[in-house]
Each structure stands twice: as structure tokens, then as C-alpha cells.
Amino acid sequence: MVLPIDLLEVSLNRDISLLLKDGRILNGKLIGYDQYMNLVLDDAREEKEGGEKRLGRVVVRGSNVVSIAIV
Amino acid sequence: MVLPIDLLEVSLNRDISLLLKDGRILNGKLIGYDQYMNLVLDDAREEKEGGEKRLGRVVVRGSNVVSIAIV
Amino acid sequence: MVLPIDLLEVSLNRDISLLLKDGRILNGKLIGYDQYMNLVLDDAREEKEGGEKRLGRVVVRGSNVVSIAIV
Amino acid sequence: MVLPIDLLEVSLNRDISLLLKDGRILNGKLIGYDQYMNLVLDDAREEKEGGEKRLGRVVVRGSNVVSIAIV
Amino acid sequence: MVLPIDLLEVSLNRDISLLLKDGRILNGKLIGYDQYMNLVLDDAREEKEGGEKRLGRVVVRGSNVVSIAIV
Amino acid sequence: MVLPIDLLEVSLNRDISLLLKDGRILNGKLIGYDQYMNLVLDDAREEKEGGEKRLGRVVVRGSNVVSIAIV
Amino acid sequence: MVLPIDLLEVSLNRDISLLLKDGRILNGKLIGYDQYMNLVLDDAREEKEGGEKRLGRVVVRGSNVVSIAIV
């Protein structure tokens, strides 16, 4: 049994890919989270048609996250 | 009487199919969950027209899940 | 006075028809529920134009349910 | 001062008309409710263009209700 | 300082105009409310193009209310 | 450090401009609020193409507010 | 491990860029926040096609925020 929060813990400092409710995809290195699944990404990039938009360090609200893939 | 959380428990390590609020369908092996019905899938694949997109290990937020079918 | 949760209790092992927020209709036998109105259906079928899609045993999140009709 | 829950209490066994978030209108006899304003309707009918669809006995989730009119 | 709930209290038995999340406008006399801002209107009328629809006595769920204007 | 609730406190009796979730813009004098950021506006006006609609004294539900600008 | 709330703390008096649920982008200097991630921005500007709209000092409701980028 892998608790969701445990998977986040072992994914610290690894690359993850987030699918957000509005369909956006954010990629970056997971460097933090809290019990609401608010996430902190380092070197975050938003996937865009024909490229990506660099966002730097970002907080992503857990309530807007659909899924978190460990890359 | 089968409690929803009990059905998740007996479905560990089995294939499930998730319908998400935005209409996406995710398939994969259930390897964990918590009391909010956040789920951990292994070998997750998103159904796409003409194929599927491999996602690997993912956390899916329970608040975005419409239904969980035991395959 | 019929409490909503009491109607679920007496509907165990009976066929119900769910209207979901996204307009989908799911039919099946109610075999479980919890206090959030998460439901467990057996032999679930989604109504589709020109037929139905068989889903087997499913958990349906209560937060996505609009109404539950006792068939 | 008429508390919303008190109006439900005195409306038991009377016909009500529900407006739901998705614009549907459900009519029926109120036979139960709980503190979340989940409702139980008997002989429920959904208003449709050119007629109505008979639903029988239904639980309606309070979170999907916009307004409850006492007929 | 006028607390929102205090404005409701002094508006009892006065006409109010509600803007709902789906854009509907309901007018009527406020005869009750609770701490969730669920409201009870008497002689409620929904504004419609070219007229109004009479609804009688209604409970309006606070979670669907955008604003309450004291007429 | 300016706590959000403190900014509301010092903005009492000043003009504010609200952006609501549905895109509406409401202007008026802030005369009250509570811990849910429900707001009371005096002399409220909704911005409309080609003018504004006068609403008088209104309660605005905090859950529908996107941002509050101090004018 | 960087907790989301800690990243806000070290970002005080720095420029941030907010992505809101409705797709708007707000830029400004973070001067406050609370435990709900309600934020206070100074010199806030909304990105618009062909320019920006100056908003001054604003409270942004945390429930409408998708992501917070530290510029």
C-alpha cells in the first residue's frame, strides 16, 4: 500500500508532471508539498503548443491539480 | 453492504479504470489510496483517441474522480 | 419523514439510476454507500446513445451525484 | 423569522419544485430531508420539453439544489 | 461596521433582489435566513425576458447566491 | 506583512472594486465584512457596457469574489 | 523540503505572478498572505492583450489561485 502522501515524499527532488483542472500541464522538480497537496516546483515549465513557458519556482494549489505523475 | 473504502481495499494491486471530471479516462493498477479517495496508480495510461498515453506512477486527486471501476 | 440516508439503506440490493453532474446516467444495483453518499454499484451500466457501456463494479463519488432514483 | 430548515419541515408531504444547478426542474412530493438539504422526493418528475419524465422516489443531493419552491 | 449577517437581519420583511451564480435574478420579500446564508423568500419572482415567473415561497441555497441587494 | 483581513479593516468606508467569478465588476463603498470575506457594499454599482447599474446596499458572498482592489 | 507557505514567507516584498482559475494573470509585489493562501499584492497589474490594467493594492482570494510564480 502506497499512500498518496508517501509517494510525494519519495518524489522530492525528482521531476514530476502535473495535469491541472484547466488542462494545463506543468513540469518541474518537486521540492515541497503540504497536507492539502499544495506543491512547490522548482524550474517549472508549462507545456505550450510549439514549446514551453518557463515559470521558475512556483506554488501550485492542490485544489487545482488533477494528477501528479512521477517522471 | 460494501463500503466504498472497503472496495478500494480489496482492489489493491488490481487494474482499475477511473473516469475523471473532465471526461478523461485513466487506467492502471491501484497501489494505494487515502481517506479522501486520493489514489495511487501504477503503470497508468490515459485513454486517447487512437491509442493511449503512458503516465507511469501517478497520484490522482480524489476530488477529480467521478467513478472507479474495478476491471 | 424519510431521511435520505435511510432511503439508501432500504435500497440496498435494489436497482438504482444515478444522474451525475456531467449529465451521465449510471444504472446498477446498489450494494454499498457511506456518509458522503459515495456509492458502490454492482453490474453498473452507463447509458449511451444506442446502447449501454458495461462497467462492472464501481465506486461513484457522492460529490458528483445529482440524484439517485430507486428503480 | 422562518428558518430555511423550518420551511422544509412544514413542507413535508407537500409538492415542491426544485431548480437544480444544471437548470433541470424536478417536481415531486417532499417526504424527507437532512441537515445538508439532501431531499427525498416521492413521485418525482423531471420537466422536459413537451412533457415530463417520471423518476419515482429519488434522493436529490442538496449541493446541486439552487432553490426549492413550495407549490 | 455592518456585518453581512446583520444586514440580513435588518432586511427581514423587506424586498431583496438576489443574483444567482447561473445569472438568474430572484426578487422577493426576505422572511428568513440561516448562518449559511440560505434564504427564505416570500412572493418570489424570477426575472425573465418580457416578464417574470412567480415562484411563491422559496428556499434559496446560500452557496448559489452571488449578491443580495436590499431594494 | 499585511494580512488580507487587515487590508479589509483599513479599507472600511473606502471605495473598492470587486472582480467576481463570473467576470462582473462591482464598485462601491466597503462598510462591512466577515471572516468568510462576505462583504457589505454601500452605493454598489455594477459595471456594464455603456454605463453602470445601481444596486444600492448589497451583501456579496466571499466565495464568489476573485479579487478586491482598494481604489 | 520547502513548504508552500514557507515559499510565500520568503517571497514577501518580491514580485510574483499569479495565474487565476479564469485564466487571468496578475502581477505585483506580495505584501501579505494568510493560511488560506489569500494574498495581498501591491502595485498589482492584470496582463491584458496589448498592455496591462493597473489595479493598485488588491486582496486575491486563495480559492481562485492556480499557481504563484516567484519572479
Structure confidence by residue, pLDDT tens digits, G11-54: 999 999 999 999 999 999 999 999 999 999 999 999 988 899 99
Beta strands in chain G (DSSP E): 15-20, 25-33, 39-48, 51-60, 65-70
- For residue B23, the distance in angstroms to the closest alpha carbon of chain C comes to 9
Q: How many CA atoms lie within 13 A of C46 on its CB side?
A: 16
Which residue in chain D has the smallest CA separation from E33? D3
Residues of C near B (CB-CB distance < 8 A)? Answer: 12, 20-22, 24, 26, 31-34, 38-40, 44, 55-61, 63-64
Q: Which residues of B touch C21 (CB under 8 A)?
A: 21
Q: Is A19 a member of any domain?
A: yes
Model pTM? 0.94
Task: Say which residue, B9 or A48, is predicted with more confidence.
Answer: B9
Average pLDDT, chain F: 96
Quote the CA–CA distance of A42 and C71 in Å, as a whole number.
52
E26 Cβ contact partners less than 8 Å away, ≥ 6 residues apart: D67, E17, E18, E20, E41, E44, E45, E46, E47, E55, E58, E60
- Does the beta-carbon distance from F4 to G33 stay under 8 Å? yes
Which pLDDT score, from 0 to 100, does residue B19 have? 96
Q: Which residues of chain D fall short of a pLDDT of 50?
A: none
Q: Which residues of B touch C58 (CB under 8 A)?
A: 67-70
Q: Which residues of C touch B69 (CB under 8 A)?
A: 44, 55-58
Structure confidence by residue, pLDDT tens digits, A49-71: 889 999 999 999 999 999 999 98
For residues F6-21, average pLDDT:
97
For residues G46-64, average pLDDT:
94
Looking at the structure of chain B, the number of domains it has is: 1
Residues of B near C (CB-CB distance < 8 A)? Answer: 1-8, 17, 21, 23, 37, 62-63, 65-71
For residues F40-56, average pLDDT:
94
Q: What is the CATH number of the domain that holds B52?
A: 2.30.30.100
Alpha-carbon torsion, ordered D71, D23, C2, B37, to 10 deg: -160
Which pLDDT score, from 0 to 100, does residue E5 have? 97
Give me the residue from F2, F23, F63 closest to G32, CB to CB.
F2
Quote the CA–CA distance of B39 and F66 in Å, as a whole number.
30
Q: State the distance between the two ends of chain F, measured CA to CA, in whole angstroms.
A: 20
ipTM of the complex as predicted: 0.93
What range defines the domain where residue F43 resides? 4-70
Structure confidence by residue, pLDDT tens digits, E4-62: 999 999 999 999 999 999 999 999 999 999 999 999 999 999 998 889 999 999 999 99
The answer to whether the Cα torsion of G37, F35, E58, E28 is positive or negative is negative
Residue B50's pLDDT band (cuts 50, 70, 90): confident
- Pairs across A and B, CB distance < 8 A: 61
Which pLDDT score, from 0 to 100, does residue A50 have? 87
Chain F contact probe: residue of E22, E30, E66 with most F CBs at under 10 A = E66
